[in-house]
Amino acid sequence: MGELAPPHVLIFPFPAQGPINCMIKLAELFVSLTDFHVTFLNSEHNHKRLGIGPESGSQRVRFKSIPDGLPESHPRSASLFFELHDSIQTQSRSVFREMLVKKVRVGEPPVSCVISDGLMPFVVDVGEEVGVPVISFRTLSGCCFWAFFSIPWLIEAGVLPILDGADMDQLVTGIPGMEGLLRLRDLPSYCQVRDLLNPGLQQMQVVTRYSAKAHTLILNTFEALEGPILAEIRKHCKTTRAIGPLNAMLQARAPDAPPLLPSTSLWLEDHSCLTWLDSHAPNSVLYVSFGSYVVMSRGQLIEFCYGIINSRKPFLWVIRPDLLAGDEMVLPEELTVEAKARGRFVEWAPQKQVLQHPAVAGFLTHSGWNSTLESLVAEVPMLCWPFFVDQQINSRFVERVWGMGLDMKDTCERVVIEHLVSELVESEGLRTATRAMAEKARQSVDPSGSSYLEFEELVNDIRAMSTCAI
């Protein structure tokens, strides 16, 4: 009997910045630490935005694209998230099925398994139809996944729907393992509904429960961070692999691995801000970024400007061109003058390098999971202003459970912002707690660490699948 061919893994992220960033790291780990062949499947829209051409990839890595069903002019913004989600579910299924049946391309090794974003349950169904195992990768936090999984119990406990006039500081029951921890305002955004027929609530309940049907569930987290939550999840999703933080895993296990793409950012990164940071003292600068989806009003932006400027801390602030919801990006002249004197604005920043810069003392963040883990690994405490999906529950855990930052959700007042920015930048306690958790993250990706051992088990699982590949 001849030697078995290396496995071929098809990785299919949901077409948004966060999932792409997370899942490309997994692809890089496979290429660096195994002999796997990898096909990375983007939407056609993002394939173009990433500048992926015929020359991209290598003998073991190929980049493919699939239509998302929306016109090129569609903004694919946070407010239209479910338009994109529904379009992929209905329009991409047949193309994806054909791709699997044709083995991606004639002459390539058969697909051993698909690692798909769990937001797209149709992939699990297609995999069953054609005989290809599907691994579900949820790129949000374990605590948020578990909250979504608990939606039926939240309804049974009478927590959902949230009644008009409810006290949002009321403690939540119905999520095993989180008793006495969450308030109504800390539930993921799609759980904060007045109607059980709300499409966001319905969708998140369905897609999360679907993960139990997949061959394996992957989460970008680690035991020391979310061990009790992972224990609850494993009662329902038996094979759950906690293999994060993936950024720490890459940094430790494959530090010299070249990136698969020059950049995975859908926006052009301004690297000149790193030179600007060089001119500042250690632990002195506030980094501000609300991620790729957050939108705010002009009034909120002005409150943040006053609060940050009045704190008298130097700042590096990422302001996307589409950050404001329908308003012009125009600030009062006095704010503009003060801001330019004290800070630096960019449309997009190389966040990993920024957070690792010694000048950065704190991160004012939307609490997206990628940003949370990047800040943790870089030992940078956080001031959290969450927007949607998992960000509300992430920010609660950052402050209440992990002690790595301050939760400012549902608040946008300049006086509060000024006070909390100063506390964030000056707090040795927050820095110490973040440093301690960063050390636990590094231990998790050591050769004997929980995440690295789980990654090895994942690799072994995929090798076993390759013996049954079509």
- What is the mean predicted confidence (pLDDT) over 104-129? 86
- For residues 34 and 19, state if they share a domain: yes
- Decide if 165 is inside a domain: yes
pTM of the complete model: 0.94
Question: What phi and psi, each to the nearest 5 degrees, are found at residue 44?
Answer: -60, -40
**pLDDT tier, 1 (very low <50, low <70, confident <90, very high otherwise):** very low
DSSP 10-30: EEE--SSHHHHHHHHHHHHHH
Higher pLDDT, 342 or 437: 437
pLDDT one-digit tens code per residue, 263-311: 778 788 999 999 999 999 999 999 999 998 888 999 999 999 999 999 9
User: What is the number of domains present in the chain?
Assistant: 2
**pLDDT higher than 80, residue 329:** no
Indicate whether 148 and 282 sit together in one domain: no
Q: Does one domain contain both 75 and 123?
A: yes
Domain extent, residue 73, equals: 8-265+444-466
The answer to whether residues 212 and 277 belong to one domain is: no
Residues 287 and 392 in one domain: yes
Q: Which residue did the predictor score with more confidence, 454 or 68?
A: 454
Residue type, 432: T
Report the distance separating Cα 448 and Cα 50, nearest Å: 36
Instruction: Assess whether 356 and 418 both reside in one domain.
Output: yes
Quick one: tokens of 241?
Answer: 């692999």
Please indicate, yes or no, whether residues 102 and 196 belong to a single structural domain of this protein: yes
291 & 260 share domain: no
In this predicted model, what pLDDT tens digit does every residue of 331-384 receive, in sequence order? 777 777 878 888 999 999 999 999 999 999 999 999 999 999 999 999 999 999
User: What percentage of the chain carries pLDDT values higher than 90?
Assistant: 74
CATH value at residue 122: 3.40.50.2000
Q: Is 448 inside a domain boundary?
A: yes
**Is 3 part of any domain?**
no
- Alpha carbon distance, N-terminus to C-terminus of the chain: 18
The lowest-confidence range among 87-101, 168-182, 199-213, 356-370 is: 87-101
Is residue 2 in a domain? no
Count how many residues are written for the chain.
470
pLDDT at 197: 95
**Residues 299 and 369 occupy one common structural domain:** yes
The token duo for 467 is: 């013996």
Q: Are 465 and 113 in contact (CB under 8 A)?
A: yes
In angstroms, what is the C-alpha Rg of the chain? Answer: 22
215 lies in the same domain as 320: no
299 and 228 both lie in a single domain: no
- Maximum alpha-carbon separation in the chain: 77
Share of the chain above pLDDT 70, in %: 95
Residue 335, domain member (yes or no): yes
From the centroid of its chain, how far is CA 227?
Answer: 19
Question: Are residues 109 and 172 located together in one domain of the fold?
Answer: yes
DSSP 8-state secondary structure symbol assigned to residue 400: I
Q: Are strands 61-66 and 37-43 parallel, antiparallel or unpaired?
A: parallel
* Closest to 378 in 3D by CA, of 272, 241, 285, 240: 285
Judge whether residue 414 has pLDDT over 90.
Answer: yes
